Amino acid sequence: MLSKKMMVAELFAFYGELLTDKQKDILTLYCLDDYSLGEIAEDLSISRQGVHDTVKRATKTLEDYESKLGLMDKFNKNNLLLNDIQLKMMNLSQIVDGDSEVLRKEVKNVIGIVTRDIDEMIE
pLDDT in tens, 8-46: 999 999 999 999 999 999 999 999 999 999 999 999 999
Q: What pLDDT shows up at residue 119?
A: 66
**pTM for the model:** 0.69
- Please report, for the chain, the start and end positions of each structural domain, with discontinuous segments joined by +: 4-69, 73-122
| pLDDT above 90 coverage of the chain, percent | 53
115 vs 48: CA distance, rounded Å = 51
Name the CATH architecture for the domain at 4-69: Orthogonal Bundle (1.10)
Q: Which residues contact 72 (CB under 8 A, 6 or more apart)?
A: 10, 11, 14, 66
Q: What pLDDT shows up at residue 19?
A: 97
The residue type at 105: K
